[in-house]
Amino acid sequence: MRPLVFTEDTTFWYETLRMFGHIAYGGADFGEVVTTSQRITESDYDSWHDEWLATADRVAAEAERSLAAGHRISAADGFLRASNYYRAAEFFLHGDPSDPRLAVAYARQVAAFREFAAVHDIEPVEIPYEGTTLPGYFYRGSGGATVVMHNGFDGSVEEMHFFGAAALRERGFNVLTFDGPGQPGAIRKGLVFRPDWENVVGPVLDWLEARPYVDGERVALLGASMGGLLAPRAAAFEPRVRALVAFDGVYDMGVVIAERFGGDREAARRALDDPEADTFMRGLMERDAVTRWAIGHGTWVTGTSPSGYARAMLDDYHLGDGVAERITCPTLVCSAPDDFAFRGQPETLYAHLSCDKTLIEFHGSEGADAHCQSGAQRLAMARIGDWLERTFR
């Protein structure tokens, strides 16, 4: 899909497409996205924050007025859009976690979503985890099967409403969404990413099984974006996962890092072990918009330096060494041909699976060629929802 705005910055265009995609489940309005984008200076993180914050504040204020006048549905609709706009506002600021703007926008994102949740019977939950809790939401459906869902490298648990929770609840599923270590609600508690994701999903399933109306024999796990690697990793070691969705599939984060070194992993390791590695990484940030954002964000969510983040992704975040082959439950892998982050990785994951497996390849002619099918979320959710219904039927 050709960019409609921000034609010179891949990250700004993709994040705008992500906003357009969330229109499908109430997370944005077309005119609000377009007019906000037109006010933003391309590649300027401060401008991006200021304009999305202004739109979010305006929409939230109107929702407050609707609520005060007793118009609960209009208020909920506005709060949902405002929550997503607040999420966007702080997205590019993660290179400096001490920036006070992050805390303000994040707190407003959560508060606005909870106003929406209160109207639509979505229960905020806190899941016990290693002496603290992981934030999440429970959507009670009308059927017996439950889908546990989490985001990936950068998305919030609130955003999972648009990336599957609303769609699957429409189909009768119970849905439990959560933020794990490294993700927005947990990193703010000091919980950084960890590769052994089964030790995250395990406590989540413990909490879920205590719900009397949850059928422990009918639980699926869905991971979005980098969650398409984390969720398969968990399913490989957690037998309570009875169906798996990799949305989209990721086999090896190290490939993404190695590409910066000509695809040579040993060259990447040598460079990252060099005392001047962080200087080199900052040089990469200056030359490429995607790298600029990814290293800044990755340094925060892994609790390391730029080179430490890259080395962790290179060595620890993969499904090699027989991990993918351990997965035994039915597995759906989604693939997008124009995925700027993980092109070719879904097919690699699929090839390594030895379980009952399905690959869904989306296409540009469907408007679904972007990462996680952003911009075609109704289509993506229809195919994922249908697969889950068939699997649990």
Segments of the chain scoring below 70 in pLDDT: none
Sheet order of strands, 146-150 included: 122-129, 132-139, 174-178, 146-150, 219-224, 243-247, 331-335, 357-361
Query: Looking at residue 291, what is its pLDDT?
Result: 83
Determine the Cα–Cα distance for residues 172 and 142; give it in Å rounded to an integer.
Answer: 5
Query: Looking at residue 212, what is its pLDDT?
Result: 86
CATH of domain 1-120: 1.20.1440.110
Instruction: Read off the tokens for 262.
Output: 């000509």
| Strand, coil or helix: 276 | coil
Determine the Cα–Cα distance for residues 190 and 192; give it in Å rounded to an integer.
Answer: 6
For the entire predicted model, the pTM comes to 0.96
Q: Which of 391, 367, 340 is nearest to 11 (CA)?
A: 340
Interval 263-274: pLDDT, tens: 889 999 998 999
Interval 185-227: pLDDT, tens: 999 999 999 999 999 999 999 999 999 889 999 999 999 999 9
Q: Is 66 a catalytic residue?
A: no
The secondary structure element, H or E, covering residue 292 is helix 289-302
Q: Which of 143, 46, 145 is nearest to 89 (CA)?
A: 46
Catalytic hit among 66, 225, 335, 374? 225
Location of each CATH 1.20.1440.110 domain in the chain: 1-120
Residue 250 has phi, psi (to 5 degrees) of -135, 130
Query: Looking at residue 282, what is its pLDDT?
Result: 85
Quick one: what percent of the chain has pLDDT higher than 70? 100
Location of each CATH 3.40.50.1820 domain in the chain: 123-252+317-393
Query: Looking at residue 362, what is its pLDDT?
Result: 96
Could you give the angle at which helices 306-316 and 265-273 cross, rounded to 10 degrees?
Answer: 150
Determine the Cα–Cα distance for residues 92 and 138; give it in Å rounded to an integer.
Answer: 28
Query: Looking at residue 286, what is its pLDDT?
Result: 82
What's the fold here for domain 123-252+317-393?
Answer: Rossmann fold (3.40.50)
Residues pairing with 174 in the sheet: 146
